[in-house]
Amino acid sequence: MQTVNGIHHVTAIAGDPQENLDFYVGVLGMRLVKKSVNQDVPDTYHLFYADGVGTPGSDITFFPWPQMAPARIGTGLAVHVSFAVPHGSLSYWRERLNKFKVAYGETETRFGETVLPFHDPHGLELALVETDIPERFVVWDGSSVPPEHQIRGMHSVRLFERRLAATERLLTERMGFHFVGEENGWRRFAAQEGSSGKIADLQEHPNMPRGEWGTGGVHHVAWRTNDVDAEMSLREEIARAGLQPTPLIDRFWFQSVYFREPGGTLFELATDGPGFDRDEDMKHLGEQLILPPWLEPHRAEIEAVLPPLRSPQSK
């Protein structure tokens, strides 16, 4: 059976884009690897933050829609995003979050891992998880966070479901996940060997209202595939499950297929390539507004409606 290779990226909805940039680059020390626009709604930015080279699985991305109401957390949404950091890093991160006056919660243990929960400026629920270092991570030399403490990429996502059974079948029978275990009402599933970056946690809430997109909420979760052939094989499995996946969509830096899992969360299948350096030199990723070729003829009108962004100062 074809399987996804873990998280490709998570896309969330932000408020003010400058506040978003200041937090993810200036506070969390991630690299802005692509400054572009939402290809379906090009009057808003699409900002990609990742490791030093934009490795698939290391990036969280945002659509800044400051006019939207805050997200309503509920079923049918991914409700929590975790980043991987090296073992022994949380003491550094508590000091750094204190420095920038970012509130955080008590340290927790989840499935045997040490976790520090906090929120971004627009309410997105985040956590840092001490875990083994993903092999694919590349240090960003321009980060204000020392290499030994830098965020290593995505660790896991958490979803609220009205009913678990259909989503669990999708993960295990169609997408190649396996059940890891259960703790405090959370059921953990993992792709392949189940290491950091390949984890989805599900929790059942039969009486909870359905969630709604808004600022501080997750828009969709993208899962990695090696290439288009693997992606289309998985798409066939998704279609057999009756979930009506989209046709293949060219996102220029990767190829995408979208569908809603049975509980309602928007999922994406995304290829590892061609990559963010397809149209920018690796040394200068994220410095300029980059448009896919089909939007380039509209650059003037697109730039006219986008607010200017300044680079955060290294701190």
Predicted pLDDT of residue 313: 63
In the block, tokens 């896309």 appear at 11
| Domain 7-305 -> CATH class | alpha beta
> How many CA atoms lie less than 13 Å away from 113 in the CB half-sphere?
24
| pLDDT above 60 (res 314) | no
Q: Domain limits of the chain?
A: 7-305
- Read off the pLDDT of residues 207-251 as tens digits, 9 standing for 90 and up: 999 999 999 999 999 999 999 999 999 999 999 999 999 999 999
* 8 A C-beta contact, residue 9 and residue 269: no
> What's the mean pLDDT in 83-99?
97
For residue 142, CA distances in Å to 25, 71, 75, 104, 120 come to 10, 32, 39, 25, 21
- Read off the pLDDT of residues 37-53 as tens digits, 9 standing for 90 and up: 999 999 999 999 999 99
Report the C-alpha gap between 46 and 84 in whole angstroms.
23
Predicted pLDDT of residue 215: 98
263 pLDDT band, cuts 50/70/90, is: very high
> What's the mean pLDDT in 278-289?
97
Report the share of the chain in percent with pLDDT over 90: 95
- Read off the pLDDT of residues 12-28 as tens digits, 9 standing for 90 and up: 999 999 999 999 999 99
In the block, tokens 């270092």 appear at 133
Report the C-alpha gap between 284 and 44 in whole angstroms.
22
159 pLDDT band, cuts 50/70/90, is: very high
Q: Side chain identity at 306, as an amino acid letter?
A: L
- Read off the pLDDT of residues 119-137 as tens digits, 9 standing for 90 and up: 999 999 999 999 986 668 9
Report the share of the chain in percent with pLDDT over 70: 98
In the block, tokens 């379906």 appear at 40
Predicted pLDDT of residue 134: 65
Pairing of strands 153-161, 255-260: unpaired
Predicted pLDDT of residue 2: 81
Report the C-alpha gap between 42 and 94 in whole angstroms.
37
Tokens, residue 7: 């998280």
